[in-house]
Chain A
Amino acid sequence: MKSGGGKMSANEKLRFDRMQFYKEDIEKIDRILSEFLRLSGAKAALLIDKEGHMVTKRGEVRTIDMDTISALVAGSFAATKEIARLLGEEEFTALFHQGARDNIQLSLVGDRTLLTILFDDRTTVGMVRLYAGETAKKLGDVYAECLIKNEEDGGPELDQAYGDSAKAQLDSLFD
């Protein structure tokens, strides 16, 4: 499966390097993920960046340790990327883990995020893969739009008091 957004230009990559996600962008992404869950019958969909931080989530995810699953999914994807490289591929754009009850399908979206789909026997891997492909493409398009818009508008910024507050929080956590 090809990645959703296709090849990003160097300029898009550069802007994406900032890794900032704004509310309206996430709302668009959430709508696409919800539609995907409705069509595919999957349990949950998570969007995780390649560094292992979660971007957003939809579906039945309340009982899952998000931080850990994000880190492990990103690590797993990074490891398979190395395998792909050894085989002469740039990277594998989709991965599938099959369990007795639950399964995970991973699809690369753009260059920096992973669409992680959790599903069980209420649907089939074929259905999930079919809609995952379309969804990855839609998400790629949304990224491209958001990147251009955010570059032009600048987007919101961290509060001016962030640095001082962070220092105070560090003191209270470590002392």
Chain B
Amino acid sequence: MVQINFALKEVNCKIVFYGPGMSGKTTNLEIVHQKAPESNKGTLTSISTDGDRTLFFDFMPLDLGTVAGMRTKFQLYTVPGQVYYNSTRKLVLQGVDGVIFVADSDPDKLSENIESYDNLIENLAEYGKDARELPHVIQYNKRDLPNAMTVEDLDKAMNKFGVPTFEAVAHTGEGVFPTLKTLAGMVLESIDRMDHRRKSPAQKEAARTPEPQRAPAVRRPAQSGAAQRQRQGQGKPKQGGPRRRAARPKGQKKGQQPRRGRGTPSGSRPALARQRRVAPREDAPLRRGNGGGMNLLIFLVVLLAAGIAGVVYFIMNNPEL
């Protein structure tokens, strides 16, 4: 979850490298740490076993610098890939803003890739997040393997949401930065589109009215992976750099227009990356109830006073009574 701290003038985002065991998540982070400018990176911390397998997570902060007066930082984490570490993997995913899924191009690891990707979707769902809405990319790592699967086959097998994909050889550094750059851009875009920025004065006014009227005003349709991909795919890949694939959503034919996201009407602007759920205010009915009761009480008191005044007036005008 993005933290915006106006006192410290900081924006903090959490990015997680996810994927099956030994797919190259920690290697990605180590390369980022090696190659990032000294002034932008913090310490790389690993909680790992004696055999250098990630036990809990690896962590390093990456400082983007000051953006429009706000110091913007990415906290980069990896998760342990082995299946039996799911509980710790889930903990690291808490509050995540973007995910880089590092897949292994070895054909023997395909089922592990698919299992891990499904596990990501499942774990996100446990935090109430829909993988289609969360900024994420897939990196096909170990492209230097002689028997590496083709990117087309990997796409067919894994890329069910049509997210941006990258080819990489993480241990040489190839493809590591383009993957991170794209994901970081997607996360920053999602911040930029946060609903508080998009509120018009009329919407702000609506926010002050009781909740039943306010809820629809701040609701936003969800953004699909396809919509993200469409935006991300607008720029051309750099010459000589790792190939960034304009992956198609599953079942979509070449040349076919990308499918619009769920809840995104055709022709409308791309929806927000984060859907803000709005629940009715718990105290609103109570306050309305109290207001109505108070009015009724005042009315009864006035009625009673008028009645008493009438009786007194009647008695005074009829001394014989």
Min C-beta distance of A68 to chain B, whole Å: 5
Closest Cβ–Cβ distance, residue A12 to chain B (whole Å): 9
B303 located at the interface, meaning its Cβ lies under 8 Å from any Cβ of chain A in the complex: no
- Whether the pair A162, B279 counts as a contact (CB closer than 8 A) is no
Q: Is the beta-carbon distance between A11 and B283 smaller than 8 angstroms?
A: yes
| Residue of B with least CB distance to A16 | B1
The interface stretch among B84-92, B112-120, B221-229 is: B84-92
Q: Which residues of the other chain, A, contact B177 by a CB distance below 8 angstroms?
A: 174
Contact A55 B5 (CB under 8 A): yes
CB proximity of A106 to chain B, nearest CB, Å: 15
- A sample of 12 more A-B contacts (CB under 8 A), given A14-B278, A174-B177, is A11-B283, A20-B4, A22-B6, A26-B6, A26-B7, A53-B75, A68-B59, A68-B61, A79-B88, A81-B91, A162-B67, A166-B67
Query: Chain A: which residue is nearest B5 at the CB level?
Result: A21
Chain B min CB distance to A19 (Å)? 5
- Give the top 10 A-B pairs by smallest Cβ distance, nearest first: A51-B95, A26-B7, A163-B192, A159-B68, A67-B61, A53-B12, A174-B181, A166-B188, A78-B91, A162-B68
Asked if B2 is an interface residue, CB under 8 A from chain A, the answer is yes
* Neighbouring A residues of B265 by C-beta, 8 Å: none
With an 8 A cutoff between CB atoms, is A141 at the interface? no
Which stretch of B40-48, B102-110, B165-173 is in the interface?
A: B40-48
Q: Decide if A161 is an interface residue (CB 8 Å cutoff).
A: yes
By the criterion CB–CB under 8 Å, are B73 and A22 in contact? Answer: no
The range of chain B's interface size is 35 or more
Q: Which of A10, A23, A67, A82 has most B Cβ within 10 Å? A: A67
Stretch from A32-40, A132-140, A150-158 forming part of the interface with B: A150-158
Alpha-carbon distance A163/B198, docked complex (angstroms): 13
Contact at B7–A23, with CB atoms within 8 Å?
Answer: yes
Contact, CB under 8 Å: A169 / B192: no
Query: When the two chains form the complex, which single residue of A17, A18, A49, A79 contacts B196, counting CB atoms closer than 8 Å?
Result: A18
* Complex Cα gap A78–B276 (Å): 24
CA A158 to CA B5, docked complex, whole Å: 10
Could you give 19 example pairs across A and B, Cβ below 8 Å? A21-B5, A26-B5, A26-B7, A51-B1, A51-B14, A68-B61, A71-B61, A71-B75, A79-B88, A79-B91, A152-B207, A152-B208, A154-B196, A160-B197, A162-B67, A163-B189, A169-B64, A172-B65, A173-B64
B282: A residues at CB distance < 8 A: 9-11
Task: Knowing A9-B282, A22-B7, A65-B43, say if A162 contacts B91 (CB, 8 Å).
Answer: no
